[in-house]
């Protein structure tokens, strides 16, 4: 809900309901009534006189020659002008909340370039709220230039200059460069909806953001404001993972926040795109699910299952040797997840304890698909389809060396069969807490993986010994589960 500034009533945030209320609320009050019927291009009817709350943004549009002392050029009169009022409040009581009042205008150049800009104003009908510190927008401009070859796309340039009136605090400065950290709407940036509306009205640029903005059920509607940020779960070189709660559903998720600059600098853009594509395509009880994905100018956000049981590496370090009954369950669940990926022509390639999570019920979930190969999105080259069975190979060298298969270490080309080798290594480590090819050095371990038979602990049961041995066959075609899939494991 939003509070009406004239009568104080709480109103639903549905725009139509708010406009109807505001017409009734201030339509008969001559002092507060503003000539704000805005003329929109390509529209037969002007919008009704109104003042609009869009979230916590107050807007009004005018088409008269003077906007409270600001003279407009006649040629600009066919474009909409508004007074925008925004607020932002910190979760900390130490810092006073901020408010911004700005004039928003839009016009088009002769070449079709559309300009939407905001500058701070002092508006006679927008009264400051008690306890709020006023910040000024010296200039905020979005310039949308039509794409030279695609009329349905454009290039957007954003120019921003803000006077915060303070050297801090950090939560306010974060509105300029960082995510809003759960503080509400960014007080110094145009709303995406405003930008889309203005560009649609002012020009023939229907797909300026290259997504389905007309579909109310589109995931593009989800943004950071839809989540409460609860805690930091971990940090890394590319960003961080946070525990968040969806405000509408109260569901708790894990949000991976990645810095675009770091992804580009470390050449991880393709890896991140691969992970996002696979997670969006896969739905399986033993694989982490991607629920939402969105981005802003500086960061990528992936909202996934919050798996609160920790990772398998921590479990193995705590218990050392796991009971075989546990191992039987974990191996079965991992095998089901791998089989599902293979059925979708996905080679996982990074099976290791750190990439296996445990949920609250003790079941596993595979995560981190950045090194996976998805043949549907990247078909193999002709020379990578070999043999009478038309085996599809990929020749990348990636992953963690001590969990690689011999064919990858020797760079002979590999496919889904390498995942079953990795499962055999992992199974042996679960039961014995030792690598089956362990040598005195890392190099010796890798050499043993290529040249020697596995050193399987004699203390494990006969059935477990047979499974590990058949997983760790160096010939991929005779390896367990490499002919008839998971049926061979039953």
Query: Across-strand partners of 239?
Result: 258
Q: CA-based angle 155:158:163, to the nearest 5?
A: 175
Q: From CA 100, how far away is CA 188, in angstroms rounded?
A: 8
φ, ψ of residue 304 to 5 degrees: the values are: -125, 175
| Longest alpha-carbon distance in the chain | 92
Residue with tokens 């040249």: 451
Q: Is the peptide bond before 50 cis (omega within 30 degrees of 0)?
A: no
Residues ≥6 apart with Cβ < 8 Å to 201: 40, 41, 42, 43, 79, 80, 106
Q: Is 368 a catalytic residue?
A: no
φ, ψ of residue 11 to 5 degrees: the values are: -125, 145
Q: CA-based angle 280:285:286, to the nearest 5?
A: 90
Using alpha carbons, list the distances in angstroms from residue 187 to 88, 131, 244, 417, 487: 6, 16, 22, 53, 58
Handedness of CA 215, 217, 222, 228 (dihedral sign): positive
Please indicate if the annotation marks 93 as binding a ligand: no
Angle subtended by helix axes 324-343 and 417-432, to nearest 10: 170
Catalytic residue among 305, 311, 350, 419: 350
DSSP H/E element including 256: strand 252-259
Nearest in space to 303 (alpha carbons), one of 316, 315, 293: 293
Residues making up the binding site for ATP: 256
Query: Among all residues, which ones are annotated catalytic?
Result: 350
Residues making up the binding site: 256
């Amino acid at each position: 809900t939003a509070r009406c500034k004239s009568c104080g009533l709480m109103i639903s945030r549905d725009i139509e309901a708010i406009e109807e209320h505001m017409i009734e609320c201030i339509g008969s009050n001559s002092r507060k009534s503003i000539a704000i019927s805005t003329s929109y291009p390509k529209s037969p009817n002007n919008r009704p006189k109104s003042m609009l709350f869009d979230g916590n943004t107050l807007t009004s549009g005018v088409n008269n020659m003077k906007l409270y002392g600001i003279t407009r050029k006649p040629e600009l009169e066919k474009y909409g002008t508004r007074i925008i009022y925004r607020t932002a409040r910190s979760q900390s009581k130490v810092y006073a909340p901020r408010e911004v009042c700005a004039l928003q205008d839009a016009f088009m150049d002769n070449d079709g370039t559309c300009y939407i800009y905001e500058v701070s104003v002092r508006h006679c009908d927008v009264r400051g709220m008690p306890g709020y510190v006023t910040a000024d927008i010296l200039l905020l401009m979005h310039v949308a230039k039509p794409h030279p070859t695609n009329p349905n796309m454009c290039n957007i340039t954003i120019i921003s200059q803000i006077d915060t009136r303070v050297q801090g605090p950090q939560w306010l400065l974060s509105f300029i460069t960082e995510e809003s950290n759960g503080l509400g709407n960014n007080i110094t940036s145009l709303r995406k909806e405003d930008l889309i509306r203005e560009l649609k009205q002012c020009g023939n640029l229907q797909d300026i953001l290259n997504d389905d903005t007309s579909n109310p059920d589109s995931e593009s509607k989800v943004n950071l404001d839809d989540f409460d940020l609860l805690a930091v779960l971990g940090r890394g070189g590319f960003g961080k993972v946070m525990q968040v709660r969806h405000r509408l559903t109260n569901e708790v998720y894990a949000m991976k926040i990645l810095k675009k600059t770091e992804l580009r600098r470390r050449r991880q853009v393709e890896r991140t795109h691969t992970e996002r594509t696979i997670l969006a395509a896969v739905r399986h009880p033993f694989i982490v699910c991607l629920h939402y994905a969105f981005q802003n100018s500086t960061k990528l956000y992936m909202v996934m299952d919050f798996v609160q049981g920790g990772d398998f590496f921590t479990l193995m370090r705590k218990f050392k040797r796991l009971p075989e009954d546990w191992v039987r369950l974990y191996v079965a669940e991992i095998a089901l997840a791998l089989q599902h990926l293979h059925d979708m022509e996905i080679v996982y390639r990074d099976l290791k304890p750190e990439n296996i999570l445990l949920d609250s019920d003790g079941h596993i979930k595979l995560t981190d698909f950045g090194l996976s190969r998805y043949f549907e999105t990247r078909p193999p080259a002709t020379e990578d389809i070999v043999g009478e069975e038309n085996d599809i190979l990929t020749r990348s060298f990636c992953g963690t060396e001590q969990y690689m298969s011999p064919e990858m270490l020797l760079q002979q080309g590999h496919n889904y069969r390498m995942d079953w080798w990795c499962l055999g290594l992992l199974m042996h480590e679960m039961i014995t807490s030792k690598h089956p090819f362990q040598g005195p050095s890392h190099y010796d371990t890798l050499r043993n993986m290529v040249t020697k038979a596995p050193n399987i602990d004699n203390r494990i049961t006969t059935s477990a010994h047979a499974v590990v041995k058949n997983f760790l066959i160096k010939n991929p075609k005779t390896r367990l589960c490499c002919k008839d899939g998971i049926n061979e494991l039953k």
